[in-house]
Amino acid sequence: MKRITYPLAISVALLLVYGAIRLFEPGLIGDELGKYLLAVPLLGVSVALVHAISYFLFDVVFRRRKGREAPALLRVLLSIILYSVFLLLIYRLVLEKPLGGFGIVATSTVVSVIIGLALQDTLGNFFAGLSIHTEQPFHILDAIRIGHMIGRVEAVTWRTTTVRTNDNTTVIFPNSKVAREELEVFRFNNLNRRILRVPAPYRIPPQKAITLIRETVSSIPNVAIEKTPVVRIGDFGESSITYEILYWVKDYMWIHDIDAAIRQHIWYIYRRNDIEIPFPTRHVLLEHQEPAATHEETDYDRVIDSVEIFAPLSAEEKDAVARSAVKSVYAPGELILRRGDPGDSMFIIYRGNVEVRLPSHDGHAQQVAELKPGSFFGEMALLTGEPRTADVISLSEVETLEIRKGVLQQLLENNAELAEALSHKITERQSRLDEYARAMPEEEKRVKAQTIRRRIQRFFGLD
Ligand code: CMP
């Protein structure tokens, strides 16, 4: 009502002022200016009239007849027509201007501004609705996806598109949004393809899994019978093979029910065929570790126990050897002892194998012996004071216990049998070394003898 009364009141007031001036001071305003001054209150009257007519027609007559709000577009259209008529009348009758090009342009510009500013959204929806009606990108009963929502189209009006979701809720989209958004249309009665992913264990051969799954899908209601479902490997996952089921459906709104039915059938078919439904698995290897010190001592004791020449030693002595020994680890192929080097310790092999080598006459190394865990080496230089008689090289990763001169000396003092056993071993090894030496060519023997001689001379200060 304010829309009618306010412009009307202002217009009447202006008209009274205009009338008073015309009556009492006609010379104050000229004819031309007078026309424009009269046009202003008449414009106000026009606004009031347009609102009054619109109110009467739509809020009184239309509402009474139809029992609901009149469409906004009708109001807009009527307003446009009435404003145009009133403006033209004022322009022609009051301003007494001919209806030439300028008048039309001016009038239509005013109308455009009114429409543009006040009815932007409404007109946007209206024109989007018009384009939906003309282009028909979808029809009633089709399923459409707008954004994240899928629903069945129930109605399309000039302003909105109504969609019913699978939750049985109604979503009403303004047509301008429908026209603006990316739209996916699943036509009703069309063969719409759907992909469902299901897992199967790695141990099941794909051919078997594919056959079983395909049989399952074919029997599900609402899956289109016109096209045979396809099952294929979609991915090799972390804990399972993912199979893709491609099936076709004429009413896309059924997909969730169909998917659920397929999954349910698969559970039973897997069960009957002794196939477990895979779930993420992790293999964790747990290593049980004894307290480090106890473990080492026990093991070193054991290996010293296994050394033949230490048989005469008491348990305490063996324990003392184990505790005093220096533990070392060598990489495969490492030179542990070099022939000719001085040496004052011997080694017990705790882990891995070593090779005892002599250089041969043709320059290639010659294996004299291979020693295993529980064997010892380096005793010859230690006990005779001579340089190392051969190279000792690790064949694998080797762990040794090194026994120093002082420790061995104490053991020898207390155990005559140990000295006996050791000298036996040294003699045996020496004679083997001599055998290799005998196999040496004369030249090499001569060089070797010379070397020894020189060493003796140097030792006794004879050179
Ligand atoms: P040593 O001479 O101190 O350094 C090289 C070591 O090789 C030697 O002590 C022995 O322990 C070892 N050795 C030498 N000859 C043989 C052999 N015939 N059999 C086993 N081991 C040997």
Which helix (H) or strand (E) element contains residue 72?
Answer: helix 72-89
Q: How far is the CA of 367 from the centre of ligand 1 (A)?
A: 11
Tell me the C-alpha to C-alpha distance, in Å, between residue 245 and each of 119, 209, 270, 380: 49, 11, 16, 77
Ligand 1 atom at minimal distance to the Cα of residue 389: 2
Write out residues in the chain with pLDDT < 70, as ranges. Answer: 71-73, 99-111, 114-119, 130, 133-134, 289-298, 361, 363, 440-463
Q: Please state, in angstroms and rounded to a whole number, the distance separating the CA atoms of residues 118 and 141.
A: 35
Do residues 179 and 136 make contact, with C-beta atoms less than 8 angstroms apart?
Answer: no
pTM to 2 decimals?
Answer: 0.40
Q: How far is the CA of 407 from the centre of ligand 1 (A)?
A: 20
Q: Whose CA is nearest to atom 6 of ligand 1?
A: 378
The helix-helix angle for 72-89 and 101-118 (nearest 10°) equals 150
Do residues 57 and 32 make contact, with C-beta atoms less than 8 angstroms apart?
Answer: no
Which helix (H) or strand (E) element contains residue 155?
Answer: strand 149-156
The strand pair at 149-156 and 143-146 is best described as: antiparallel
Q: Which residues contact 454 (CB under 8 A, 6 or more apart)?
A: 463
Do residues 145 and 167 make contact, with C-beta atoms less than 8 angstroms apart?
Answer: no
Q: What does the pLDDT read at residue 295? A: 46
Q: Which amino acid is at 134?
A: T
Ligand 1 atom at minimal distance to the Cα of residue 376: 11
Order of strands, sheet of 149-156, starting from the edge strand that comes earlier in the sequence: 170-174, 160-165, 149-156, 143-146, 183-186
Q: What does the pLDDT read at residue 456? A: 47
Which residues have C-beta atoms less than 6 Å from ligand 1? 337, 343, 356, 368-369, 377-381, 388-390, 392, 429, 432-433
Q: How far is the CA of 460 from the centre of ligand 1 (A)?
A: 26
Q: Whose CA is nearest to atom 9 of ligand 1?
A: 378
Q: Which amino acid is at 305?
A: D
Q: How far is the CA of 322 from the centre of ligand 1 (A)?
A: 22
Q: How far is the CA of 456 from the centre of ligand 1 (A)?
A: 21
Q: Three-state SS for 323?
A: helix
Q: How far is the CA of 246 from the centre of ligand 1 (A)?
A: 75
Q: Whose CA is nearest to atom 18 of ligand 1?
A: 429
Do residues 218 and 161 make contact, with C-beta atoms less than 8 angstroms apart?
Answer: no
